[in-house]
Amino acid sequence: MRKSDSIITNIDWPLFVSFIILIIFGMATIYSVAFNEDHPAIFALSEKYGKQLLWLGISFFAGLLIFLIDADIYRKVAFPVYLVTLILLVIVLFMPPINGARAWLGVGSMGVQPAEFAKIATALLLSKYISELVVKLQTTKTVLLACLIFFIPSILVAMQPDAGTLVVFSSFLFVMYREGLTFDPIILGVLNSIPGIKFKSTWLGSHFIPVLFCFLFLCVLTLVLSNTSFHPWFFPNTTFKGPTGIIISLFIFSLLALLFIRQFSVKRDRSRILLVIALGFIITSGITLFVSTAFSSLAKHQRDRIELVLGLKEDPDGRDYNRNRAMAAVGSGGAFGKGYKEASVSSLKSNHVPESETDFIFCPYAEEWGFLGSILLVFIYIFMLMRIIYIAERQRLAFNRIYAYCVAMILFYHFAINIGMNIGFAPVIGIPLPFFSYGGSSILSFCIMIFILLKLDSQRKDML
């Protein structure tokens, strides 16, 4: 294996520059929102901006070490690192709770959150495992083992509980789908266990992600229409509400579709189309009943959160306070913003927006720089994600490519959900904005994630 001429020459500068820009923007926003006139120096370790700067220093020191180590080491240590993070996730469950969650190891402000580093460890091990598989020869065992790699830490994170990180772990499903690791073997194993049935492949297993999106769409549609009243013309004095009304609507739609096909379709295609419509009606009706039953079985506060996000009820000063205040802060910035350090609604002094330096860090930024500044920030994130995907596709090793896609999906989840929380498009589940939000574990894990990717890419020509 020949050595690279220079790391500086081989580093992907567009990704590195966009990463540095986000770091600078984030640090400037934290300094602005947490500014203390008694300790104006940005290096003041008694203030949050001083602590964030200290963690940035630690992150870049870790990055220097990453660049000094041969890139092939990350594939070799993937399993030991994964085991260590699992052990830490177990240990943290026995720690005293902080803000209702057992998620921190350490004392005071120097505590670390193992769940943040579990994402890196999971990405490394999943990349190693899938890269060593022959995807065309996948079996039920191989698919289940791939799922277990991210399912085990997901369970431990759920026990803390940490809903935000738990959601992020589902991003690895998309990586599996990209690499051709489908759920076909599992579905086939179940179907072929039925006497008299023998399948070689299934459409569902190969199209799991699109089917998942359709399922989620039907779930949301069911909840949105759950309070809608339905008055069928054939029962003029009867009102159906909720899932009953939806199913009756589906039935009428299916009946009209059947009549239309019977009248106008080509004869040889009728049976297949009729079967598809019948199956579609049965499946959607089943999903509707399942979602309605599951929703009614949730605790009241859980139902309230879902209904608030979907706009089915309003509670601006109660359970919807955080999201409502966040949207007010973002909107107060207008088109051009109020100017740097001029945020009033989302400043820590006003305490109007809770966690405005962590989960709601986008609020002060949007308030200071307005709509145009917000669009610029979104553009930088999108550019970074597109660049990572470009880097992934030019890798010679499957391990590097898969890891790059893991990084892209993790960052996308954080970026999309966090900004969605701030503008009212996503539930408040406590998830940091990459390279922006205050927090040592968060900034350190994201920086390490990017530094490993840059190192792997810088040696892509050497790793054969």
- CA nearest 428: which of 334, 333, 363, 348? 363
How much is the pTM? Answer: 0.81
Q: What is the pLDDT of residues 276-334, one digit of tens each?
A: 666 666 766 676 777 677 766 666 666 666 666 666 666 555 566 677 788 888 888 88
Please spell the DSSP secondary structure of 411-448, one letter per residue: HHHHHHHHHHHHTTSS-----PPTTTS--HHHHHHHHH
The radius of gyration computed from the CA coordinates of the chain, to the nearest angstrom, equals: 25
Per this entry, what is the length of the chain?
Answer: 464
The pLDDT of residue 212 is above 70: no
Average pLDDT over residues 122-140: 83
Q: What is the pLDDT of residues 53-100, one digit of tens each?
A: 999 999 999 999 998 888 889 989 999 999 999 999 999 888 877 766
- Reduced to 3 states, what is the DSSP secondary structure of residue 147? helix
- For residues 313 and 306, give the distance between their C-alpha atoms in angstroms, rounded to a whole number: 9
- For residues 116 and 112, give the distance between their C-alpha atoms in angstroms, rounded to a whole number: 9
Going by the DSSP 8-state scheme, the letter that residue 240 receives in this structure is E
- For residues 255 and 411, give the distance between their C-alpha atoms in angstroms, rounded to a whole number: 45
Average pLDDT over residues 172-194: 73
Q: What is the SS3 string spanning 184-227?
A: HHHHHHHHHCCCCCCCCCCHHHHCHHHHHHHHHHHHHHHHHHHH
Q: What is the pLDDT of residues 346-376, one digit of tens each?
A: 776 767 777 778 888 898 899 999 999 999 9
Total domains, the chain? 1
Task: Kindly report which listed range (55-64, 90-99, 125-134, 254-263) carries the lowest average pLDDT score.
Answer: 254-263
- The pLDDT > 90 percentage for the chain reads 29
Helices 140-158 and 184-192: crossing angle, nearest 10°?
110
- CA nearest 33: which of 463, 437, 435? 437
The pLDDT of residue 107 is above 60: no
- Reduced to 3 states, what is the DSSP secondary structure of residue 13? helix
Tokens in use for 320?
A: 């919807």
Show Cβ contacts of residue 297 under 8 Å, excluding neighbours closer than 6 positions.
Answer: none
pLDDT category of residue 1 using cuts at 50, 70 and 90: very low
CA angle 131, 447, 164 (to 5 degrees): 80
Q: Is residue 26 part of a domain?
A: no
Q: Is residue 219 part of a domain?
A: yes
Q: What is the pLDDT of residues 371-395, one digit of tens each?
A: 999 999 999 999 999 999 999 999 8
- For residues 57 and 80, give the distance between their C-alpha atoms in angstroms, rounded to a whole number: 26
Q: Is residue 291 part of a domain?
A: yes
54-74 burial, b at 16+ Cβ within 10 Å, e below that, comes to: ebbeebeeebeebbeeebeeb
Q: Is residue 35 part of a domain?
A: no
- pLDDT confidence of residue 434: 93
Identity of residue 382:
I
pLDDT category of residue 132 using cuts at 50, 70 and 90: confident
Tokens in use for 452?
A: 């490993």
Q: Is residue 240 part of a domain?
A: yes
- Reduced to 3 states, what is the DSSP secondary structure of residue 164? helix
Q: Is residue 411 part of a domain?
A: no
Q: Is residue 403 part of a domain?
A: no
pLDDT category of residue 239 using cuts at 50, 70 and 90: low
| Angstrom distances, CA of residue 196 to CA of 20, 190, 202, 224, 347 | 60, 13, 16, 41, 67
Residues 328, 345 contacting (CB under 8 angstroms): yes
Tokens in use for 204?
A: 């569902």
The pLDDT of residue 13 is above 50: yes
Which H helix or E strand runs over 116?
A: helix 114-131
> Which domain does 220 fall in, by range?
213-297
| Angstrom distances, CA of residue 56 to CA of 49, 305, 414, 443, 454 | 10, 35, 19, 7, 17
- CA nearest 118: which of 388, 386, 406, 387? 406
Q: Is residue 237 part of a domain?
A: yes
